[in-house]
Structure 1
Amino acid sequence: MPTQRQSRRAQPAPERMPTSARMRQLMRRLKIIALILVMLPIALLTLYSFVPPVSTLMLGRWITLQPVTRDWVALDDIAPALPQAVIAAEDSRFCLHGGIDWSALRHVVDRAGENGPTRGASTIPMQTVKNLVLWPGRSYLRKGLELPLSVYADIIWSKRRMMENYLNVAEWGEGIFGAEAAARRYFNKSAKNLSRREAALLAAALPNPRQRNPAQPARFHARGANAIIMRMGNEDTSCLAR
């Protein structure tokens, strides 16, 4: 009578899946993962049409147990001077384009080096999409994803919603996100009570928010704010009206 060990040895080895079948299975899984990666940003942007959004930087800080300060407020609870200042500083054609300023983008691409563009032509929709579903940094890959998602966001959101989302996720310092948190941190007041100069100082800080202090602006920061104030009355902000 065979022993238990002999019985185990006598059992046939399980059949291995052919290499071609394993490759097909792997490709199917990769396609599913790719589809999820494509659909997730679209689903999130759709959700953020009516739900207060969360930026990837905020998520990253929460995951690494770093503090986040953000108080969501409606656009009606933000002083009109701030969206005016942000449009003047970041995207003068905000009310006119469909998410992308193609002429500015072509100008940047024409001057790009081997490692990608050295400066951006980012509109407010592009910056909002980057903050919400993409990653920081400059590369052709991120820009390639950013462009169609920006057009999609501009289609499904009103310009008011776009500005509202942007002003509530923009970074204004280490762990400080959104206009309300920034206004209270730097000026000890609500975003609804910001003056024109305070709004311009906040807008001038956006290109480098961790190095620029709106409450104690360096000389170049103050000069930038002065230039923004000069342009604030000339930009088209009619798309923000109800």
Structure 2
Amino acid sequence: MKGLGKLIWRFVKLFLILFIGITVFWVILYRFVNPPVTWLMITRGFERKADGKEWKIDKQWRDFDDIADPMKRAAVAAEDQTFLENHGFDFHAIEKAIQKNSRSNKLIGGSTISQQTAKNVFLWPGRSYVRKAFEAYFTLLIEIFWSKRRIMEVYLNVIEMGDGIYGVNAAAQAYFHKEAFDLNRQQAAAIASIFPSPLKWSATNPTEYLQHRQYLIMKNIRRLGPMDF
């Protein structure tokens, strides 16, 4: 039994070393190389095919400086107002999410922009505690190896923005027929308002709830003041 235990422990150590080595390399690679595709994009593509639609992944990468400043500020105002100060986790939001989860069968995340970026780039779609654990791990890695500027750049380029639409440049073209660089504050707030549910909501045909959400985002943009990425 002793020999078997040692053998199992060796395999466990080898697995952990390989896992950490591969994931750290992957994260460092994406610090310099733009992610070509995500699991969500592929999954949505197959879902479209299953529904009898054409395969569609509409995305055009735009560098950080080629995205309008109001769009970056709107993302922070809508999703993670402590983005520049936190280290990948908003523990107050996590505490609120845990309280809600204890009263519901639905798993609510309370995710920061860093967590959402880690989830979108490195993980598969879905909600589970196992996935949240991997999300936390990759969030730590990108906070260590990427800058906040890079996290925001990747986030705004891979986020789902509609049926087969990914990234704010594709969203800007689909909703406002312009480039991400040319978005004004109101348009940026409209796009940011649909981040939580882009397959149900529209930036150009908002419900009353979305109009209120857009108003709050614009209000938060003014309150946040200058942001130094």
TM-score range, shorter chain: 0.7 to 0.9
Q: Match for residue 127 of structure 1?
A: 116
Q: Is the 8 A contact 1:174 1:210 kept in 2?
A: yes
Among candidates 30, 47, 62, match of residue 48 of structure 1: 30
TM-score of the aligned structures, taking structure 2 as reference length: 0.84
Query: In the superposition, relative to structure 1, how do residues 30 and 114 fare at CA in structure 2: closer, same or farther (>3 Å)?
Result: farther
Root-mean-square deviation (CA), in Å? Answer: 2.7
Corresponding residue of 1:141: 130
Q: Could you tell me whether the CA contact under 8 Å between 1:116 and 1:138 is conserved in 2?
A: no
Q: Tell me if the contact between 2:107 and 2:128 (Cα under 8 Å) persists in the aligned partners.
A: no
AA of the residue aligned to 1:120: G
**CA gap 1:139/1:77 in 2 versus in 1, 3 angstroms:** same
Using the size of structure 1 for normalisation, the TM-score is 0.80
135 and 116 in structure 1: CA distance in 2 versus 1, 3 angstrom threshold: farther
- Greater radius of gyration (CA): 1
The 3-state SS of whatever aligns with 2:32 is coil
The reply to whether residue 74 of structure 1 matches residue 74 of structure 2 is no
Provide the secondary structure at the position in 1 that maps to 2:84. coil
Per-residue CA distance 1:190-228 (angstroms, 9 max, x = gap)? 011111111001101000000111121122111111111
**Structure 1: any 5+ residue segments left out of the alignment?**
1-19
Is the partner of 1:67 in helix, strand or coil? coil
Give the helix-richer structure, 1 or 2.
2
Q: What's the counterpart of residue 164 of structure 2?
A: 175
Q: What does residue 179 of structure 2 align with?
A: 190
AA of the residue aligned to 1:56:
W
Q: Show structure 2 runs of 5+ residues with no match.
A: 50-54
TM-aligned CA deviation for residue 237 of structure 1: 5.5
The answer to whether the 8 A contact 2:45-2:164 is kept is: no
Q: How many pairs were matched up?
A: 220
Identity in percent: 35
Q: For residues 74-107 of structure 1, give each alpha carbon's deviation from its aligned partner in whole angstroms, at most 9, with x where no partner exists.
A: 1111111111111011000001101111222123
Residue among 83, 95, 98 paired with 1:109: 98
